[in-house]
Chain A
Amino acid sequence: MPFLAWAVAFLLVPAGALLIGAFRTQDGEYTTQFIRDIFKGSSLDAYVKSIEISLITAVLGGALGFLIAYAALSPGAPRLLRPAFLTFCGVAANFGGVPLAFAFISTLGTVGMATRALDSIGLNPYDHGFTLFGFWGLVVTYLYFQIPLMIIIIAPAIDGLKAEWREAASNLGASATQYWRYVGVPVLLPSILGSMVLLFGGSFAAYATAYALTSGHIGLVPLKIGELINGNVLSDPHQAYALAFGMVIVIAVAMSIYFVLDRRASRWRRSVQ
């Protein structure tokens, strides 16, 4: 099959070559030096920062996305809203990279629209330690695609939440809190956590948005790889291969967690259909 050939040539071979390249020097000798370097100094900092930002945006984006999705898609919501809402989420989730960074500079940059509005009521965020071009600025920007992404991923799980369960619970005298405590959350939790893991992966892999927003200076792993590849001539590309190898490991671990959670979540999905 041509498809298999293509996948081998342009996906498996490059990824496999990096795996080997991470353990070799420029001269072709084998070494674990580059892998050990990952756990030191600025490389370690980059991983910590990348993982931090991915965790925060996954949890915040996941929680906000779920609340909005539940509000807009639960059985009581107007049906007309639905297709427009989901299409809009699709657009927002796919709107990323450089243009997204510029949109936020127009909004929350030093002279952005929201900054000026907040300034006029005496709450200029830049007077309170916020900057769009740092860690929390990046978090706010990433949420722009994380929240709609969460809505798209979690929508099927919310659709699977049967109205009968709620009715049965309230017929048996359960309060809204009890319904959520004993029915809603246990059913949805694997889906919610699984979706958050996917958000984690998406934000861990992101390059363009952070690059455009911080001119490459924020020190996340993807930006460090980019810098090593075509920034500094003296730098060793094998250092970049080791960092890339580390990225694949982190995402692979995240994806394994996702599969475990997704299997748990699918128990309910099957019984629903």
Chain B
Amino acid sequence: MSKSGWFWVAIGLLYFLLPLAATAEFSLKDGDSYSFAAYREILDDPQFRDTFFLSLKLAAVTIFVALLLFVPTVYWVHLRLPHLRPLVQFLCALPFVVPPIVLIVGILYVYNYKWVPANYLGSPYYLIPGYVVLGFPFMFFALDNAFRAIDVHTLTEASQSLGAGWTRTLLRVILPNISAGAFAGAFLTFALVMGEFTMASLALFSTFPTYINYIGQTKANPAAALTIISFGITWLALLGILLVGRRPGRTAVQVGGTH
């Protein structure tokens, strides 16, 4: 690499590490010395635990629903309905055109008190349908890549000629072969839900990201600690993708989401 090449990489590194270093320093600051007081304060806050576990639950349900929707769909598109691919692909790219702020305004407009049961309207699981839609691109492109890498027809025929039905074929033959893609989609969706602020905030639910915002209004050092924790979550999710064997360079375009 040339000298100017190293220069640009060094500038990039500095720009990306400095805010993290500054936040880490700030989160450890305790008067004139350093301590983990801010982290302890966060971990002892029952609201932290409530919102954090709520976001974990929302992420789990979102991933489950998305896998349930997409594994059979992408399988079917590869096996029998290749002519539907443009339609599916279009719908999965649509969340790039309809940003989270627009999506939640639309959902709140359509699914309102007039005909949605009040207990669902007041439950944070109200966010799930929107989260699944936001995750469309991640789930679809991750699974689509995984399906491209296997021979769907041969695997299906082999499985069926040995007497397996559709469910058995899907769960025992296809799923293990595309698990890397499923995990990649799941990890991206996880990062998405753990950081999603816009929809939760507009629908007035207290999730982990809105809690971070709330703490930011009131306590500076714990907010920095939460920022580090949140960054750690993003790291874990992306590292997870790397570990299950998918090259990050091929990650589907990641626009929108949590910004």
Q: Which residues does A use to contact B, with CB under 8 Å? A: 1-4, 6-7, 9-11, 13-15, 17-18, 21, 64, 67-68, 70-72, 74, 76-78, 82-83, 86-104, 106-107, 112-114, 142-145, 147-149, 152-153, 155-156, 159, 198-199, 201-209, 211-212, 222, 225-226, 229-230, 237, 240-241, 244, 247-248, 251-252, 255
Contact = CB atoms under 8 A, between A and B. Distances in A.
B107 interface: yes
A97 B197 contact: yes
B149 to A, nearest CB: 16
Name the residue in A13, A82, A103, A248 with the highest tally of chain B Cβ atoms < 10 Å from its Cβ: A103
B258 A96 contact: yes
Interface stretch (B20-28, B44-52, B150-158): B20-28
A1 B204 CA distance: 32
B22 A107 contact: yes
B259 A205 contact: yes
B85 to A, nearest CB: 13
Contact of B197 (A21, A103, A106, A208): A208
Contact of A251 (B96, B130, B204, B239): B96
A14 B103 contact: yes
A247 B99 contact: yes
A90 B101 contact: no
Contacts of A156: 249-250
B18 A77 contact: no
A212 B216 contact: yes
A71 to B, nearest CB: 4
A98 B19 contact: no
Nearest to A156: B249
Contacts of A98: 197, 209, 212-213, 216
B173 interface: no
Contact of B16 (A144, A153, A199): A144
A106 B22 contact: yes
B102 A68 contact: no
Contacts of A255: 96-97
Given A15-B106, A106-B22, A144-B19, A152 B254 contact: yes
Given A68-B12, A107-B23, A208-B259, A17 B109 contact: yes
Nearest to B250: A156
B249 A155 contact: yes
A248 B107 contact: no
B105 A18 contact: yes
- Going nearest first, the 5 A-B pairs with the smallest beta carbon separation are A14-B106, A205-B99, A71-B5, A113-B22, A96-B259
A82 B239 CA distance: 15
Main secondary structure of the interface of B (DSSP, over half): helix
Contacts of A96: 195, 257-259
A106 B133 contact: no
Contact of B259 (A11, A21, A209, A244): A209
A153 B96 CA distance: 15
Contacts of A87: 238-239, 242, 248
A107 B61 CA distance: 36
Name the residue in A4, A95, A145, A209 with the highest tally of chain B Cβ atoms < 10 Å from its Cβ: A95
Interface in B115-135: 129-130, 132-133
Nearest to B237: A94
A201 B255 contact: yes
B202 A226 contact: yes
